[in-house]
Structure 1
């Protein structure tokens, strides 16, 4: 069984605002808390945030991976956004997963 943290999702108003405001500390704290709680992978979704969707995903992936050493699940209904997330993913931290 793989435990995936699901709290970094822009469908949640608080996370959407963190992404829109580029709040590095808040995003990284949320990522760390999930890993400390046992998550072996983190789901990241920036689709509901305003602005450039691909840029948001790239920022979110890089910001999260600066703080934790687990792979990410790139979550979006948009293929271009997923592609940008995969390009930004640090593969030294493990294989990414796609969730659409």
Structure 2
């Protein structure tokens, strides 16, 4: 919603709004998968929170369903889709592209 709100306030056209909506959907799911992976593989000190809590609470996560390696692949594919969603937007969308790529590279 915040992507759309900013775009609406900035006078974006319908195509840009659609692109940002899809970007948000893809990047949001990629972020959640990456966060679930960090909960398994991350360093508690770097994360500032304990790891493994999802598993100990029996939380159903993407890695729990399909495994960590498949989850990493899917998160990367979602990021590429998010970047592709922005293809019709100009260079002002570059920070959004950078954010999307950061999601799968982050360690915290």
TM-score of the superposition, structure 1-length normalised? 0.31
Q: Which structure has more RCO (C-alpha within 8 Å, separation ≥ 6)?
A: 2
Greater helix share, 1 or 2?
2
What's the TM-score once normalised by structure 2's chain length? 0.29
Question: Over alpha carbons, which structure has the higher Rg?
Answer: 2
